[in-house]
Structure 1
Amino acid sequence: MDFPKGLDWPGLMRAGLHELRLTPREFWALTPAELVIMLGRDARAGPLGRAGLEELARRFPDVTKDADDD
């Protein structure tokens, strides 16, 4: 069976049908976001720490414009 790329459908189905013991009808009635919340995997990311800030600065360095630049 081919599944669309982007979502781990087999993993989501295992989690919904086995971990949460949902019926197939209940599973397919959920949105992926609802399923993630029900599984308790919606934990918010913590505040940005020094390592995260340094990674952002490395990926997106500040650039200064010359007086001639617009």
Structure 2
Amino acid sequence: MARIAGWRPEEFWAATPADVAAVLGGWRDEEAGGAGVDRAALGAMMESFPDGRV
């Protein structure tokens, strides 16, 4: 979310799933059917871009 929306870690962790979904909703591949970001994709992003929280 830092790269996509400029959120700091505390802003990400304070956000609701709906907040994150609203921001990520624009990140869809229209040619792939516009599926958007599902739970698995969000988990993969969190693993790829950890913010240091344990």
TM range (shorter): 0.3 to 0.5
Q: TM-score, normalised by structure 1?
A: 0.32
* Rg larger in structure: 1
